[in-house]
Amino acid sequence: MIELSRIPQAGLPDAAFDYAWRGRVLTATLYHVERGEGGAVVRQTPIVSEDFDFSGLAAGDVAQIEPQVLPVNPVVSALCDESGDLHVQVVRWYDPQYEAAPTLEKEVLDG
């Protein structure tokens, strides 16, 4: 099991992260966000992606995350609990000029 938590954080203007999983490999993609009238998002263009491989974490391990490609680290924490479940926290950027702070999002995935 993978438990993914997206933690709200005021981010860079006109930027957003999105996440995808393949097994226990997380792909984080940084997007440029274009806004239209009233701040509505009209387009998101991918800028750069990076994979974070958590498949080697054993029970009780905490990952040391150092991005090699992304300009900032989107992973707050990653640990494998004693039962082998992976718990990952990532940032959920929002633009406070246009959006209220979102709530903490949690999602449970197979993995």
How far does Cα 100 stand from its chain's mean position? Answer: 19
Question: Which SS3 state, helix, strand or coil, does residue 63 take?
Answer: coil
Rounded to an integer, what distance in angstroms lies between the CA atom of residue 108 and that of residue 99?
25
Judge if pTM exceeds 0.85.
Answer: yes
Q: In the prediction, which pLDDT does 111 show?
A: 64
Rounded to an integer, what distance in angstroms lies between the CA atom of residue 14 and that of residue 40?
11
pLDDT in tens, 51-102: 999 999 999 999 999 999 999 999 999 999 999 999 999 999 989 988 888 8
